[in-house]
Structure 1
């Protein structure tokens, strides 16, 4: 990357202040911060707004943590976003996502997913193909996770597809020690 500043220490003061604030907020939740956000910090206001949505979805959304991580890994696998996969696989384990499910997502084998992951995967199959989620599948997801959860599944699919584009567009590879 030769055009964007990708070193937090070299960011201009407003972007560095935002980086420090976001990193501290993430550390307070036991999370790291960097990767695609370093590219985004070259546009501080956009980075601030994307982080606000990401923080809400990750820490304040209605979906259970294991389902959230299942979604992230599924989108990462489907889009080839190595950074997101590596950044989230240990979080998925910590959230209680069974190793067999992580392996199934990693191999692309969705033939024997247990509930509710089978239903979530079916929703993601539609969103990743840019297709409408059928009414019956929407109803099942809304009955399982409330309407708010259904909306979060679809939004998370788009959110992490956006991050895949950021990662690929700016050459952000897998994080070290993943």
Structure 2
């Protein structure tokens, strides 16, 4: 990337202060910060708003952590977002997402997904194709995760599709192994 400032230390003072604030907030949750946000900080107000939504969905949302990580990995696999895949595999394991599920997502094989991942996949198969989620599937998700969970599921799909576009559009590479 040649036109964006991708080194946090080189950001203008206001953007650097925002980077430090967002990084501290993520670090307090035991999370690394950077990647696509480094590109977004070239538009600090947009970065602030996107990070606020991402923080809410990741740390304050109603979906269980395993469901959240399943959604992120599924969208990453479907969109070819190597950064998001690599960045979230360890988080998925730490959240308790079964290795069988991680392997199935990585292989693009939804045929043997256990509950509730088969249900989540049923939603994602529609949102990733930009299609309406059928009423019966929505009802099953509401029964399992509530109305707020259904809304979060669809929003998370779109949120990480947006991040796939940011990562690919700005050439955000695979994160360093920690």
Establish whether TM, by shorter chain, passes 0.5.
yes
Correspondence for 1:121: 121
Correspondence for 1:110: 110
Is residue 2:73 matched to residue 1:69?
Answer: no
Deviations 1:48-82 (A, max 9, x none): 00000000000000000000000000000000000
Within 2, Cα distance between the matches of 1:68 and 1:170? 25
Q: CA deviation at 1:111?
A: 0.2
RMSD of Structure 2 on Structure 1 (CA): 0.6
Unaligned runs of 5+ in 2: none
Q: CA deviation at 1:173?
A: 1.3
Deviations 1:70-129 (A, max 9, x none): 000000000000000010000000000011110000000000101100000000000000
SS at match of 1:113: coil
Q: CA deviation at 1:21?
A: 0.2
Correspondence for 2:30: 30
Superposition TM-score, scaled by structure 1 size: 0.99
Correspondence for 1:139: 139
Name segments (4+ residues, structure 1) moved above 2 Å.
none
Correspondence for 2:4: 4
Deviations 1:11-57 (A, max 9, x none): 00010000000000000000010000000000000000000000000
Is residue 2:104 matched to residue 1:100?
Answer: no
Within 2, Cα distance between the matches of 1:120 and 1:177? 28
Within 1, Cα distance between the matches of 2:102 and 2:66? 11
Within 1, Cα distance between the matches of 2:72 and 2:107? 15
Aligned residues between the structures: 178
Within 1, Cα distance between the matches of 2:177 and 2:65? 23
Within 2, Cα distance between the matches of 1:107 and 1:114? 15
Q: CA deviation at 1:176?
A: 1.3
SS at match of 2:26: helix
SS at match of 1:120: helix
Within 2, Cα distance between the matches of 1:148 and 1:7? 37
SS at match of 1:37: helix
Superposition TM-score, scaled by structure 2 size: 0.99
